[in-house]
Amino acid sequence: MKTKSFIIALVAGAFALTSCQDKDWGVPENIITQPPYGNNSLVAGTTTTIAELQNKYSNAISNDSYKQITDDLWLRCVVTGNDYGGNIYKQISVQDETGGIIIGINGSDQGAFMPVGQKLLISLKDLCIGGYGNQAQIGGVYNGGLGRMELSTWKQHVRLVTDGTDEAVGFGTMKVDTIDFDATKTMAQQSGRVVRLSGVTISGEGTQILAPDDGSVGLTSNCANRTISGGNAGSKCVLRTSTYADFKGIALPKEPVDLYGVATIYRGTWQILARTQSDLTWVK
């Protein structure tokens, strides 16, 4: 009898032990309020604005040099462009109510961690700011010039701010509206911002591929620059599309269209960077 009981217990025990080890995993707690990306211990000190930064470092920006920020300054801003669509590479664009700027980060898929609309608190001290083709940019030093900062550096200097947290209060009612492109505006007034171009024509109209890599269009750094004219485009404006963009293969419109994108400048020419296919309104 004892033997039987023992055996039954042994067999029952074996079955009982065989519970699944790879359990159903749920979303980890606290990843919304304490994102596992960036530095959650950052608390804002003396804040500045994008316009103030561009003004303070205007010489470095216009000279295509850079300066390391030595003051303990903090920036509150909102992400307006990233690599999600494959057209912007290792950069994000951010805006506050005073302007926009590009931040270079040596990391991919940053659009997944910092989607458009994400509020950022950035500790600027020790980061670099300067110009590349006269476009204002925050980053790090690479080969003696301004380049992207290492991802680990960026993660130490940024806090992703979630609505409802104490740090979100500092953003107040910050609005980062899309503005109508105006070719007469200065770099500081318009670059880094999301702009709308209306009734414009794109060169190569009617061709089947926006950014071909077959040699039919001249490329610079794997990007096709197609001239934008008419409407509010002014005289020096291009639609810059990477041959790695998810929407590189779309056809160009024959008729004037509206489009959106991040306005950047390169030596006097406005370069419009569409972020995703939805910025190109003619694509259904």
Binding site for another protein (CB under 8 A): 3, 7, 10-11, 13-15, 17-18, 20-22, 25, 27-29, 31-32, 35-37, 84, 86, 106-109, 112-118, 150, 152, 213-216, 218-220, 222, 244-250, 277, 283
Least separation, in Å, of the C-beta of 56 and another protein? Answer: 26
Least separation, in Å, of the C-beta of 152 and another protein? Answer: 6
Indicate the residue among 31 and 43 with the shorter CB distance to another protein: 31
Least separation, in Å, of the C-beta of 29 and another protein? Answer: 6
Indicate the residue among 87 and 190 with the shorter CB distance to another protein: 87
Least separation, in Å, of the C-beta of 101 and another protein? Answer: 21
Question: Could you tell me if 267 and 194 are in contact, meaning their C-beta atoms sit under 8 angstroms apart?
Answer: no
The rounded distance, in Å, linking the Cα atoms of 262 and 121 is: 21
Indicate the residue among 76 and 275 with the shorter CB distance to another protein: 275
Indicate the residue among 184 and 220 with the shorter CB distance to another protein: 220
Least separation, in Å, of the C-beta of 25 and another protein? Answer: 6
Indicate the residue among 18 and 235 with the shorter CB distance to another protein: 18
Least separation, in Å, of the C-beta of 37 and another protein? Answer: 6
Indicate the residue among 163 and 184 with the shorter CB distance to another protein: 163
